[in-house]
Structure 1
Amino acid sequence: MTRIAVIDNHGQFTHLEQRALRDMGVDVELLDNTTPAADIDADGVVLSGGPDIDDIGNCAEYLDLDIPVFGICLGMQIIAQELGGRVGNGDYGGYADVTVEILDESDPLVGSLYPETRVWASHADEVKEVPDGFERTATSDICGVEAMSNADENIYGVQWHPEVAHTEEGEAVFENFISVCDRQSVARQ
């Protein structure tokens, strides 16, 4: 059974991420972002959303665990900031129902949603520039980087919230991440 650690960055939807994965048959552990990286025993890590990029605990260390990482909203911003990208204020602000254009139909995380999907996203802050080694894999009229991927390192992020009912194909995104975790787990054995 796939084991995924959901890292709680104190976002309002984190429990929904845990539930979505559990309902898909994943062994899920919800951990505070202060959990030492050495204590994480999982096939993958989800960095949850949250209100404050200055309160990310040990999230930077989780990027070095050599397991797939999936950042959601603040989680994606943490990945970008820690790996040399740039995060800034969004022009749009709060939550909205957004049509997202998928740019790479071969992307392991969001490619199956090609050519576009409807999502629920907050754009108070957003990734302005992806780190070296990453590709921008989705965009919208209000945000240039709605998703990003480094498939070689198995590190992915989306600006939107796949765990909420307003996101049309959120379950597919989680299923795709589970597949990434399963493939890497098999490759390590």
Structure 2
Amino acid sequence: MTRIVVVDNHGQFTHLEGRALRDIGVETAIVDNTTAPDEIDADGLVLSGGPSIDESGRCDEYLDLGVPVLGICLGMQVIADELGGAVGAGDYGGYADVTVDIDDSDDPLVGSLAPETRVWASHADEVVELPEGFVRTGSSDVCDIESMSDPDRGLYGVQWHPEVAHTAEGEAVFENFRAICES
């Protein structure tokens, strides 16, 4: 059975990420973001959302484990920040129901959602510059980079929360990530 570990960045929806993975038949565990990377045994990682990039623990070290990584909201921002991209304050600070235009229908994480999908997202902070090697895979009228992907390194990010009921095709995001981890 595929095992995907959720790294808890102290976000309010972390437990829902674990549940969403269990609901699609994935073995999962939630670990704190201070857990040593060598203590993690997984086929893939989810870096959860959370309140602050300054509280993201060892997330940079998790990117070197050689397994696919999905960053959700803050998790995506941590990936971008650690790999040379840029994170800044969003123009829209709260949670919102947003339509995301999928820019790459071939992307293994979000391509199946094309041409667009409705999501629940927070834009207090957001990725404003992609790290080298990444492509933008989704955008909206609220945020230029709603999702990003570097399939060669197995690194993916979504600004929105696929684990909440307000996101129309959230389960598909987790199923696509499971398929990435199994390939």
TM-score range relative to shorter protein = over 0.9
Structure 2 letter corresponding to 1:4: I
What is residue 124 of structure 1 aligned with on the other side? 124
Displacement, 1:23?
A: 1.0
Q: What secondary structure, in the 3-state scheme, does the structure 2 residue paired with 1:57 have?
A: coil
Matches within 5 A, 1:1-189: 1-183=1-183
Identity %: 72
Distance in structure 1 (CA, Å) of the matches to 2:31 and 2:115: 34
Distance in structure 2 (CA, Å) of the matches to 1:146 and 1:124: 13
Q: Deviations over 1:34-70 (max 9, x none)?
A: 0000001000000000001000111000000000000
Distance in structure 2 (CA, Å) of the matches to 1:59 and 1:39: 13
* Number of residue pairs aligned between Structure 1 and Structure 2: 183
TM-score normalized by the length of structure 1: 0.96
Q: Deviations over 1:117-140 (max 9, x none)?
A: 000000000000010000000000
Q: Deviations over 1:56-111 (max 9, x none)?
A: 11100000000000000000000000000000000011000000000000000000
Q: Which runs of 5+ in 2 are unaligned?
A: none
Distance in structure 1 (CA, Å) of the matches to 2:75 and 2:43: 17
Displacement, 1:149?
A: 0.1
Cα root mean square deviation, aligned? 0.3
Distance in structure 2 (CA, Å) of the matches to 1:120 and 1:136: 18
Distance in structure 1 (CA, Å) of the matches to 2:93 and 2:55: 20
Distance in structure 2 (CA, Å) of the matches to 1:121 and 1:30: 22
* TM superposition outliers: structure 1 runs of 4+ over 6 Å: none
Distance in structure 2 (CA, Å) of the matches to 1:171 and 1:24: 8
Distance in structure 1 (CA, Å) of the matches to 2:86 and 2:57: 19
Distance in structure 1 (CA, Å) of the matches to 2:96 and 2:145: 15
TM-score normalized by the length of structure 2: 1.00
Structure 1 letter corresponding to 2:114: Y
Distance in structure 1 (CA, Å) of the matches to 2:156 and 2:170: 14
Distance in structure 2 (CA, Å) of the matches to 1:157 and 1:141: 18
Distance in structure 2 (CA, Å) of the matches to 1:70 and 1:49: 11
Q: Which runs of 5+ in 1 are unaligned?
A: 184-189
